[in-house]
Chain A
Amino acid sequence: MKFLCLDCDDVMVFAERQIPGDGTLAAVFTCGSCGREMAMLTNPMETQLVSSMGVKIGGREVPMQPMELARTSLEGGREDAFALSEDIPREPAIPGESTNAGEATAGRVVWTSEAAGRLERVPSFVRGMVKRIYSDWAREKGVSEITPDVMDRARTELGLEGM
């Protein structure tokens, strides 16, 4: 989908996305030549069609998480379907295969008990995914300890309302 400014014969460029929370979406595009703005408004079905592709108009704030589409779209997800990796030791299915035991040790961040308590309130179906988003953000920012304040900062910066 592209928008063309007819006066300038120039393609309009994505500028801003707003999600009002009623299932609709507004995406603002701007003409780089004359500065004219226009907003594309989608109804819930159109919004859902785009999100069903696992994409976000204007790009993603955080990388696509493993099984994000299933976890965020499934109605009636099993509460204990997912466990944090440290709760389930990985056993090699093939003799001699690496267990990646030290996979998370590089750039590891520490969660304070308050932050961990707040994470516990996130439904477990998406908890691992949310934990990884915060951990990745902290590593990227050079933050070694995740506190509730750090979580707030990350949430604001990444636009993760409800996490």
Chain B
Amino acid sequence: MRKIRTYQDVTHETGSDLLEQVVEQQRRLAERLAQVRSVVAVASGKGGVGKSAITANLAAALAAKGLAVGAADADLNGPSLARMMGVSGARLADRESGVSPAQSPSGVRVISMELLQEEEDAPLRWREPGMGGFIWQSTLETGVLREFLGDVEWGKLDVLLVDVPPGTDKIGRLLELVPDVDQMLLVTTPSETSRFVVSKSVRMAREATVGTVALVSNMAGHTCSECGHVSELFTGDGANRLEEESGVPVWAVIPFDPRLGAATDSGTPLVISDPEAHSSRAIFALADRVEEHVGIRAEDAAEEGGS
């Protein structure tokens, strides 16, 4: 059998320029994110645990503390962040340096697929062949997420929050684009099922190069607004068990509050409309933890480089 040189053996350029274009995409993304002190992913792996509502409220809380904050809705198929931040229908400006994000009333710069879609009830669909979507759809959506992060004129930010959709694969998708995510907040509920699913995300985050990983226990009990009695919504102690098993700390315990959902439905996060609510105070405490860790990774890297 004749010996044919392998791909790796052939080192000459082919002129197809594909690798060079991919490298250029990565360069643009890195250049944009160089203006961001901390990329903070709000993820879970589990659906329905309140990631987007926490992202919206955390973004507003950080902005209220005086930080420059951006929020990218990585959930292309079920976008909700624009609505929750009160920027539905906002127009994006084409500028020399990129596309300007929407500006929420709470001072957060927002990008979401909702801002690009004409019809409210339209599922996300792409042009091109109707067949074989499973082959290229993930590639395309990763590319669009890269554009959300890299082509939006974020400006100088202290924190860029990324609302990551359910599924550990979506966490992996983000980490491929942004390997040096500074903080990853993994949202769970007290339920055992949630603990089981989120444990996979904990492992993924810890095996990656994420700077700091922390848990957020959401819907942790309901306080009666009349008598103050606290009742449990879920049996189990998922977040604490996960903390004990993995060593990943719980940074926030956020009680269930129907007003939190109502506030985000109206486009005004609860931390703005009622900053004294139990849930708001828990989210402000979370914002304190996030702020404490902003820039730590960069400072550590600078120290290592200087030593």
Contacts and interface: CB of A to CB of B under 8 A. Distances in A.
A150 interface: no
Interface stretch (A41-49, A110-118, A155-163): A41-49
B139 A85 contact: no
Interface residues of B, number: 59
A85 B127 CA distance: 27
B108 to A, nearest CB: 8
Nearest to A77: B116
Interface string A78-117: 1111111101101101100100100110000000000000
A57 interface: yes
B182 to A, nearest CB: 19
A74 interface: yes
A34 interface: no
Contacts of A50: 18
B243 interface: no
B16 interface: yes
Given A66-B94, A77-B117, A11 B127 contact: no
A11 B7 CA distance: 10
B118 to A, nearest CB: 4
Contact of B155 (A74, A94, A125): A94
Interface in A8-55: 9-15, 23, 27, 29, 44-45, 48-55
Given A76-B118, A88-B100, A48 B132 contact: yes
Interface of B: 4-5, 7, 10, 12-18, 20-22, 24-25, 28, 68, 91-100, 103, 107, 109, 115-119, 122, 124-129, 131-132, 135-137, 139-140, 143-144, 146-148, 151-152, 155-156
6 contacts: A52-B136, A53-B18, A54-B25, A67-B148, A82-B93, A85-B93
Interface of A: 1-4, 6, 9-15, 23, 27, 29, 44-45, 48-60, 64, 66-70, 72-85, 87-88, 90-91, 93-94, 97, 100, 103-104, 125, 127-129, 131-132
